[in-house]
Amino acid sequence: IYIYLKVKRQKKEVEQQKARAERLNSLNQKIFAVIAHDFKSPMITLNTLIDLMDKENVSGDDLKTYSSDVRNQIIQSGQILDNLLNWAKTELNLSYNTNLYSNPFLIVNEITKELNYMAARKNIRIVNQVPESILLKVPPDILKIILRNLLSNAIKFSFSNNEVVVGLNDKVTLFVKDFGAGMNEKTINHLFNGTVQSKLGTFNETGFGLGLYITHELINKFNGSIWIEKNNPTGTIFKFVFPTHAQN
């Protein structure tokens, strides 16, 4: 019996390691696709703008349009880079400073400014309902990545002329609520394991589906939990909580 149980346990460990290796291989392929596509696009747009300026063949309106595109793509590239670096840090089991506190109200305001261009294209308003005095025991840069990913995702799948709401339930649970396309149960059940193929947003926005996976990994790193609820009549609510209660 002892030998049987030992062999069974070893077999299970091998299967888990194999599944992890397959998942990491799939994620690595996605990462290379992100680097090849998303980090190349801003350079192409910027190069086009410089060529037009060198030829003095760009009007004021065209210059404004290209500048806005470059700014938006650079912001998105910065977001992707943050995600990749923190994903690598998580996979390498590097340590974080767990004694830092964050003010989610201020972080949401900061992210709102960063995502203003993305939201304005669809006339979406980000509503910050987080109390100003709340503090969470999580490093500010980590909370910023988590909230930026959730807000970007909410904007991506929201319908035009709508709102995305960020708030706090029971003084401990942060939520990001949108009134967009929503998702089915199958997608919800596999959303955080890195295997879901990214879909086009309601404005044909592209993406590679890494943001929510990395968000899940970072929250787990701090022993937190994240889950999804359907919003009525349409949309999705992402909720997450850390084991240390928020402080006033």
Residues 223-246: pLDDT tens digits?
899 999 988 788 999 999 987 655
pLDDT at 237: 95
* Angle subtended by helix axes 140-156 and 210-221, to nearest 10: 150
Residue holding tokens 């609510």?
Answer: 237
Residue 182 three-state SS: coil
Name the residue among 209, 216, 148, 139 with its Cα closest to residue 176.
148
Beta carbons within 8 Å of 44's beta carbon, 6+ residues apart: none
User: Which pTM value belongs to this model?
Assistant: 0.72
Average pLDDT over residues 73-87: 71
> What is the distance in angstroms between the CA of the first residue and the CA of the last residue of the chain?
55
Identify the bridge partners of residue 102 per DSSP, sorted by sequence position. 136
- Helix (H) or strand (E) holding 166, with range, is strand 162-169
> In this predicted model, what pLDDT tens digit does every residue of 142-194 receive, in sequence order?
899 899 989 999 999 999 999 999 999 987 899 999 999 888 887 777 777 76
pLDDT at 114: 85
C-alpha 192/C-alpha 79 separation (Å) is 18
Residue type, 24: L
